[in-house]
Structure 1
Amino acid sequence: MSNPVYLALDLPRLEDAKALATRVKAHVGGIKLGLEFFCAHGHHGVHEIAHVGLPIFLDLKLHDIPNTVAGAMQSIHVLEPAIVTVHASGGRAMMEDAKAAAGEHCKVVGVTLLTSLDERDLARTGVQGSAHDQVMRLAELSEAAGLDGIVCSGHEVAAVHKQWKHGFFVVPGLRLPEGKIGDQKRVVTPRKARDDGASVLVVGRPISRAEDPVTAARAIEATL
């Protein structure tokens, strides 16, 4: 992949989202469309963004019984996504069925631990151990289930890459050194994540909310 940066495009208005994608398309490698975008705009919205000409990453974080997740995967075949996410905590059977139902050229990756969560949040949900331990456990389960890779923070990607040599690793929650972290708790720079083995770098607000999105995208591209 020549440019690993995927722009997280979760603007509320479809026209604004398409305009931004068109503006920065020369400086990003793909577009990530999340749950907010998909619920607001559905298949039509995805098709409209696909017309920009970049690969589409559907970050839907599917999490349900295996049969339901498989059905959901089949329903988005027509959108031809390059990447789709499922929650690794849904279990091995769910992940196996998700991968089996995915399109031939679609990478299915397991979300391990949201970058908005830390150890305190884990403890409150009954999960013992560190965030790192939880990510490593779910990475191992995702590999065993036959997924292409996982989503994890930049804090864990080096360790996961060492354990899973040929995995496909998506790292969100990235910020430039001088950037605000917002609601993220475990962030690193795009350069650091890439050096540690990230395959895709998801960048949202540092580009989408920048005064000049093109300049911001070019600045991130230049660090890589």
Structure 2
Amino acid sequence: MHEPRIIVALDYSSAENAMQLVDQLDPQLCRLKVGKELFTAAGPQLVERLMTKGFDVFLDLKFHDIPNTVAKACQAAASLGVWMVNVHALGGRKMLNAAREAIAPGTTKLIAVTLLTSMDQDDLTDIGLQGLPDEIVERLARLAHDCALDGVVCSALETTLLRRLLGGDFCLVTPGIRPANGQFDDQTRIAIPRQAILNGTNYLVIGRPITQASNPLLMCQQLNAEITGLIA
């Protein structure tokens, strides 16, 4: 059986609500993402509970600070035993190098956020970033690769190019995934699971289509069925 390629986003405000969903899921079918809201509310204790249930945890806190602070935060995350942690590529080379040095390769995966999938051209203009979204994502992904990070978070619309440029071993994690008949919600650069995998994505971050489904486990099974046969 292949490793789980679906990462369920636990976008909840309490441990109780998160666990009500998690109790319906199977760690053989998915991993779990704990973001800022849930981690702030429930802390490392929840992460440990999730791992005790057999789930790999992606700690999605997007560290972005001076290099030493980010290095210490990465060390703390790795000490929890999480499967994956992330930083912001916009923190720059010194910060990315410090994060890499803080986590031993082959333990907790270290990836970088390029651009948030909610951002469009108008947002980039507002903050003074030059170029189109895909050009900025490429630049930041190359920087993360140069700093020996394990991969990046990116839109599925950019994965084909990044896979070609950065090789088969570079990990591409894609949020903004919606079933073919799903709603866009607040994402602008999105894709369906099959398209994302064909484009070269390694892991699909999926939130509301699973967490708000009447049967979350069934939805997870259906999404896995959609991508089965596309993974080498």
TM-score normalized with structure 2 length: 0.93
Q: Which amino acid aligns with 2:177?
A: L
1:39 matched residue in structure 2: 40
Structure 2 partner of 1:78: 79
Among candidates 196, 200, 217, match of residue 193 of structure 1: 196
Helix, strand or coil for the counterpart of 2:173? Answer: strand
- Equivalenced residue count is 224
Give the secondary structure class of the aligned counterpart of 1:162: helix
Q: Deviations over 1:148-192 (max 9, x none)?
A: 110000000110000000201100110011100100000001111
Equivalent AA in structure 1 for residue 164 of structure 2: K
Which of 123, 126, 133 aligns to 1:131? It is 133
For residue 58 of structure 1, give the secondary structure of its aligned residue in structure 2: strand
- Matched letter for residue 89 of structure 2: A
Partner letter of residue 149 of structure 1?
Answer: G
Once the two structures are superposed, residues 24-59 of structure 1 have per-residue CA deviations (whole angstroms, 9 ceiling, x without a partner) of 215633111111111111111111121220111001
Match of 1:154 among 153, 156, 163: 156
**Matches of 2:190 and 2:48, distance apart in 1:** 31
Aligned residue among 173, 176, 179 for 1:176: 179
1:12-161 → structure 2 map (5 Å cutoff): 12-25=13-26, 28-104=29-105, 105-161=107-163
Q: How far apart in 2 are the matches of 1:131 and 1:60?
A: 22
Distance 1:50 1:210 in 2: 23
Unmatched tracts of structure 1, length 5 or more? none
Q: Is the 8 A contact 2:27 2:54 kept in 1?
A: no
CA contact (8 A) 2:3 2:28 kept: no
**Which amino acid is the alignment partner of residue 78 of structure 1?**
S
Percentage identity across paired residues of the two chains: 38
Deviation at 1:110, TM superposition (A): 0.8
Q: Once the 2 structures are TM-superposed, how far is the Cα of residue 3 of structure 1 from its aligned partner?
A: 2.2
TM-score w.r.t. structure 1 length? Answer: 0.96
Deviation >6 Å, runs of 4+: none
In the alignment, what sits opposite 1:4? 5
1:39-97 CA-to-partner distances (Å, cap 9, x unmatched) read 11111111112122011100110000000000111122331111101000000110111
Give the match for residue 219 of structure 2: 216
In the alignment, is the contact (CA less than 8 A) between 2:77 and 2:85 conserved in 1? Answer: no
- Segments of structure 2 that go 5 or more residues without pairing to the other structure are 228-232
